[in-house]
Amino acid sequence: MHPDKVQVSHSMPISPARTIAFDALLRVETENAYASEILHARLNAKVSARDAALATEIVMGALRWQRLLDFLIARYIGKKAAALDPEVLIALRMGIYQTRYLARIPARAAVSDSVELIKRARKRSAASLVNAVLRRAATESARPIEEFVSQKLAPAETLALVHSHPTWLVERWLERFGRAKTVALLETNNAPPSRVCAVLDSENREEVIRSLVRAHVEFESGGLLRGAIIIRKGDVSTTNVFENGEIIFQDEASQMIPLLLGVNRGESVLDLCAAPGGKTMALARAAGPGALVVATDRRESRLRAMRERLKLPGAGASHVNMVALDATTSLPFRAEFDRILVDAPCSGTGTLARNPEIRWKLKPGDLVELHQRQVQLLRFALEHLAARGTLLYSTCSLEHEENEDVIREMLELHPEFRACSAEIPTHALAEGVRAETLIDASGAFRTFPPAQRTDGFFAAVLRRKQ
């Protein structure tokens, strides 16, 4: 668009969507907050569905493309983007993202609101800079980004810049996956993930479908699981089945984890690091109301929120016992458990499409620290595994330090345990899905975002040697 056609009005009301997006991005930038949690709190019934969708699109898009947006900002202002005040930086990221990636948004609206947001943030002196930069960005929005990238950059650096990822992550993925799979992963990480729901009670699936139809929600069956529903259009949160807890938002790979544990009726279950509780619901339902089910998490605040979810009539998990504790230390239980889930806190590199800010928070040294914590979690959990019990260790990470290396170290420290091949109940799989395609050569469950169109998960089964 020609810059003369991008005019900025003065003292115009700001779109509610852009106000929410600006505030959320500023908190992510300055408070190390997580975008999904902020949006969940802000996007309530008072916010229209249209504004909620645009706010989410701007926040997640600006975070996914942050490195590339900062590269363009530096090109326009002649210095590093980091030298700008956070409010100015956020306004510019938002504006450039909209003019380059959201074709349906008029450039004048993106520019005007970005300038007004700067004034609202009491950075009025930067308004002319924001206006000038965004008007120039609008004129170049159709030009391929490769035109602006130096040919002298190393191949990994170029890939990382063009696809807006940290170079160190791209380098390790190139070494492990090769170029084709790495590019596919980068592209998947930069696309909005599917909105997937889990139907907690398979026998109630038809009623769930009728409820979605009544609410004019457009959907299709899951790609991996019969119990999954992929939402294409509409607001699920307004349906009775969602309000009652009969369905929850949960990625298909995440839905698969409780199935791998193979809980039988009446068995005792320990779910470590359980919040926000999606997997706990499935485990509690499988064990039944008379079984001992214990869920733990480090933060009492997360358990409080989880407790409210599990109380919903459709959750079927009101019998879960919740305990706040640090599971990297000895566990205060006398009992041994038939089934234990260690869904370990991890880097989350398998969820970068869903949680884009992780790529900017994560550092190489974090993988070492996470590995150490994960080994500790697994060590103390195994002490409470019954003689013929099963433990499932899982992460939403693609990194070997957090996955196979943890299992390998634990088995070296405790040779009385063995790794067993994960088994997926075939009745749970969607038509045409073969279980063996999700199990690697070592017997571990593994999903890769470009291949399965899910989050990237790893899970390994451990049992005592008999």
Out of 197, 273, 346, 396, the active site residue is 396
Q: What is the pLDDT of residue 2?
A: 44
- Cα dihedral 327, 329, 334, 337, rounded to 10, equals 40
Q: What is the DSSP string of 292-323?
A: -EEEEES-HHHHHHHHHHHHSTTT--TT-EEE
Pairing relation of β-strands 337-343 and 385-395?
parallel
* Contacting residues for 466 by C-beta, under 8 A, at least 6 apart: 388
> What are the C-alpha distances in Å from 240 to residues 125, 198, 250?
49, 15, 18
Q: What is the pLDDT of residues 137-175, one digit of tens each?
A: 999 999 999 999 999 999 999 999 999 999 999 999 999
Q: What is the rounded CA–CA span in Å between residue 430 and residue 422?
A: 18
How far is CA 369 from each of CA 54, 166, 363, 364, 397, rounded to the nearest angstrom? 37, 19, 10, 10, 14
Single-letter amino acid code for the residue at 96: I
Has 346 been annotated as catalytic? no
Pick the CATH number of 252-464 from 3.40.50.150, 3.30.1490.190, 3.20.20.70, 3.50.50.60: 3.40.50.150
Q: What's the gap between Cα 175 and its chain centre?
A: 24
The token pair that represents 370 in the structure block:
């996470």
Q: Which residues lie below 8 Å from residue 334, measured CB to CB, with a gap of 6+?
A: none
Residue 249 DSSP SS3? strand
Pairing of β 195-199 and β 218-221: unpaired
CA 178 to CA 169: how far, in whole Å? Answer: 13
Give the burial class of 25: count Cβ atoms within 10 A of its Cβ; 0-12 exposed, 13-18 middle, 19 or more buried: buried
Distance, C-alpha 78 to centroid of its chain: 34
Q: What is the pLDDT along the chain (466 residues), one digit of tens a residue?
A: 444 444 444 456 899 999 999 999 999 999 988 999 999 889 987 899 899 999 999 999 999 999 999 999 999 999 999 999 999 999 999 999 999 999 899 999 999 999 999 999 999 999 999 999 999 999 999 999 999 999 999 999 999 999 999 999 999 999 999 999 999 999 999 999 999 999 999 888 999 999 999 999 999 999 999 999 999 999 898 899 999 999 999 999 999 999 999 999 999 999 999 999 999 999 999 999 999 999 999 999 999 999 999 999 999 999 999 999 999 998 999 999 999 999 999 999 999 999 999 999 999 999 999 999 999 999 999 999 999 999 999 999 999 999 999 999 999 999 999 999 999 999 999 999 999 999 999 999 999 999 999 999 999 999 999 8
Which residues are CB-neighbours of 377 under 8 A, at least 6 positions away? 272, 273, 327, 328, 342, 344
Fold entry, domain 3-148:
N-utilizing Substance Protein B Homolog; Chain A (1.10.940)
pLDDT of residue 388: 96
Q: Which distant-in-sequence residues (6+ apart) come within 8 Å of 58 by Cβ?
A: 17, 18, 21, 25, 94, 97, 98, 102
CA distances from 374 to 34, 39, 189, 233, 289 (A): 22, 29, 25, 38, 30
**Is the pTM here over 0.85, yes or no?**
yes
Could you tell me the residue ranges of all domains in the chain?
3-148, 252-464
Q: Which of 306, 299, 346 is nearest to 455 (CA)?
A: 346
